[in-house]
Amino acid sequence: MSAFIRRPIIRSILASGRSITSRTAPVLVKQVYSRSFTSACSPQSIALRALGQQTLLKDGRFYSTDSFPTHNIIAMPALSPTMTAGALGTWQKKVGDEVVPGDVLVEIETDKAQMDFECQEEGYLAKILVETGSKDVTVGQPIAIFVEDPKDVAAFENFSAKDIESASKPEQPKEESEPKESEPKEETEKETKSAEKASSSNEADGDRVKASPIARKLASERKINLDEVKGTGSGGIITKEDIENYKASAPKATSTSAAPAPASIPTAYTPKGAAGEAYTDIPTTNMRRIIASRLSESKQQVPHYYVTVEINMDKTNKLREVLNKSSEGKYKLSVNDFVIKASALALKKVPEVNSAWQGEFIRQYNSADISVAVATPSGLITPIVTAAETKGLSTISAQVKDLATRARDGKLSPNEYQGGSFTISNLGMYGVSHFTAIINPPQACILAVGGAQQKLVPDETNEKGYSVRNVMEVTLSADHRVVDGAVGATWLQAFREYMENPLKMML
């Protein structure tokens, strides 16, 4: 729908909305909400998925109030299913700038990458609520104000998050609003009367504790023993204020007897007597915190087991050399390309490994979507080669190079690194011969690949009685809830068969 047609419709909706009482305004906003930022986006961003929350703030448009014209609240979007908070990079638009579909509004650092947030609607940026460089911005938190009329921008110069909270709450009827000074008096009078009634009933019942009904209810909710509270009301009656004050002083009374809680993170060693600065504290990024949390959770909750095999790489190395020489510069295959292809074919042969633990069921995937671990300056990320079993070695090689480059530049879109059915982590290029990897939940397995090394092996066909072979060690980390040991070993046999006879990958 064009802006020319849409805006008269919006104005008519707003006109009808103003005729309804303030108590029904929030319902009106939810039910006749006509337009907000769409969730459609370019491959590099996902727009305002956070607007689909339960509260009015995240559900739709806020109509004009006595103080501010009609506006939209731009909330921190959830750019991944696991994202709960992120950091704001550089705002690409300043207050007053026009925003058209496709414009980059702001850079957002997720738990995996730095992404451009592109809007798909037209309008004007009226207010920036969260500045560049802000960290731990929770999903759903307002970050900016968006208006349709450029004349409305100036009205939001002093707009703040408090105005959003007040706009989302229905106003109270005038007859209910009284001067603030009279409210404590009325409450005190009511409480005193009820306290006197409670006191008379307590005395009649022989109860030694005198407290107002409000105080008793509050004490019950906060699990406070009334015998320990001193009443300041008439005749020593315990009032609401006594309960509230008791709660404030309770921690002080218990702090002397209670032992301090142990720190969840041990305090780091501080060198003494060192010349100059003894250490440097590097702030953790949002991505690093997420990695730490996920890997700790995986290691603690997933029952890992490990299976290692040695693979003769002679045939694969020879085939790789021949193919690269005949490529005429069109591609350059790496050992990892063969590992990805062999893993995908082995997953089709042993589909039980191509699975994910889901608690009530195990999800078995029909295609091999291989996550490839890539080291970036801010942490590890795993872009995905989808349906790797259907792709040739040159296609896999080109795709991995492209994904790795964009991963290091923070240019991956969420669908390129979220998900996957199996992960490969290769440290062979760093001279590592053997290591074990931590499973990436909810996937069931991850393959740790070491570098090839020359090894002497018995060989009856050789007159020396031995031969020198290039041997590579791989270790499969498996989730025992999904993959039994025999199944893991069977998969490794299939993988080794493809790697030691690489021509089978061409069939």
Which residues are catalytically annotated?
A: 480, 484
What b/e string do you get for 48-79 counting C-beta neighbours within 10 Å, with b at 16 or more? bbbbeeeebbbbbbbbeeeebbbbbbbbbbbb
Whether 478 contacts 444, CB under 8 Å: yes
Whether 407 contacts 322, CB under 8 Å: no
Q: Whole-angstrom Cα distance, residue 468 to residue 474? A: 19
Q: Whole-angstrom Cα distance, residue 489 to residue 69? A: 66
Does an H or E element contain 335, and which?
Answer: helix 335-349
- Using omega within 30 degrees of 0 as the cis cutoff, is the peptide bond preceding 170 cis? no
SS3 (DSSP) at 132: coil
**Tokens 């039994």, residue located:** 484
Q: In sequence order, what are the residues at sequence separation of 6 or more whose Cβ sits closer than 8 angstroms to the Cβ of residue 91?
A: 105, 106, 128, 132
Q: At what angle do helices 240-255 and 213-221 cross, to 10 degrees?
A: 30
Tokens representing residue 34 in the block: 């006509």
Q: In sequence order, what are the residues at sequence separation of 6 or more whose Cβ sits closer than 8 angstroms to the Cβ of residue 501?
A: 315
Exposed (0-12), middle (13-18) or buried (19+): which is 375, by Cβ within 10 Å?
A: middle
Distance of CA 383 to the CA centre of its chain: 16
Tell me the torsion sign for CA atoms 165, 171, 172, 177.
positive
Range 463-471 contact pairs with CB under 8 angstroms and sequence separation of 24 or more: 469/312, 469/313, 469/314, 470/312, 470/313, 470/314, 470/317, 471/310, 471/311, 471/312, 471/313
Exposed (0-12), middle (13-18) or buried (19+): which is 304, by Cβ within 10 Å?
A: middle
Q: Whole-angstrom Cα distance, residue 386 to residue 383? A: 9
Cβ neighbours, 10 Å, residue 417: 22
Closest CA to 145 of 115, 88, 105, 118: 105
Q: Whole-angstrom Cα distance, residue 124 to residue 119? A: 11
